[in-house]
């Protein structure tokens, strides 16, 4: 006797249909579970890829930021060196001007100018005094008053400071333009 014969005849079609329905439902559930596993693995793979991509982007961004920071630090260092150079030039020039003013004040040094006079005072075509190391005679020179000499030195000192400041500004601008 078979199991199929134990089922009454009027319920056999329903039993076969319900058995068929259970097989279909079971295979659908099994397929659904298999698809869920595959989809889960695919989502996990995509999540890993996205995490790797984000990691690479953050590393690239950090590298660019480090490069830019290194450039900025190098520029700051160059500008600081140029500042130190210009400050040294300025203090050296101020020291030189102060020494020159001191020498003028103590009459250790006298400023003189060439005069545009073609006549000489007297019959001699040579000047009354000659400077050390001078061989050329015949140019008449006039000595400046020490106060006027101090004013001239002050004017040239201001001019020298302006030229040094201009050179500092020009080198600063050229450094800034170089990096762009």
pLDDT in tens, 78-112: 999 999 999 999 899 889 888 888 887 777 777 77
- CA distances, 83 to each of 69, 89, 149, 162, 179 (Å): 21, 10, 31, 15, 18
- Say whether pLDDT at 72 is over 80: yes
Number of domains present in the structure of the chain: 1
Higher local confidence (pLDDT), 47 or 7: 47
Rounded-to-integer distance, Cα 134 and Cα 126, Å: 12
Q: How far is CA 95 from the centre of its chain?
A: 33
Rounded-to-integer distance, Cα 150 and Cα 180, Å: 46
Give the whole-number percent of the chain exceeding pLDDT 90. Answer: 39
Residue 161 has a pLDDT of: 86
Range of the domain at 127: 3-179
> What tokens does 180 get?
């762009």
Please provide the distance, in angstroms rounded to a whole number, between the alpha carbons at the two ends of the chain: 97
Q: If pLDDT is split at 50, 70 and 90, which confidence band does 120 have?
A: low
pTM of the entire predicted model: 0.50
Q: If pLDDT is split at 50, 70 and 90, which confidence band does 180 have?
A: low
Q: If pLDDT is split at 50, 70 and 90, which confidence band does 132 have?
A: low
Q: What is the pLDDT of residues 17-63, one digit of tens each?
A: 899 999 999 999 999 999 999 999 999 999 999 999 999 999 999 99
- Say whether pLDDT at 144 is over 80: no
- Say whether pLDDT at 129 is over 60: no
């Amino acid at each position: 006797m078979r199991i199929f014969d134990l089922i009454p005849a009027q319920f056999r079609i329903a039993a076969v249909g319900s058995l068929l329905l259970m097989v279909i439902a079971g295979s659908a559930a099994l397929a659904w579970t298999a698809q869920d596993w595959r989809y889960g693995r695919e989502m996990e793979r995509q999540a890993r890829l996205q995490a790797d991509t984000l990691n690479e982007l953050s590393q690239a961004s950090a590298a660019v930021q480090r490069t830019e920071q290194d450039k900025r630090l190098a520029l700051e260092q160059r500008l600081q060196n140029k500042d130190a150079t210009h400050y040294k030039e300025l203090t050296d020039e101020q020291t030189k001007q102060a020494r020159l003013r001191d020498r003028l004040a103590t009459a250790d040094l006298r400023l003189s100018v060439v005069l545009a006079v073609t006549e000489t005072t007297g019959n001699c075509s040579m000047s009354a005094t000659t400077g050390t190391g001078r061989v050329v005679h015949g140019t008449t020179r006039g000595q400046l008053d020490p106060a006027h000499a101090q004013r001239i030195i002050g004017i040239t000192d201001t001019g020298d400071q302006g030229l040094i400041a201009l050179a500092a500004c020009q080198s600063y601008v050229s450094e800034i333009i170089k990096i762009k």
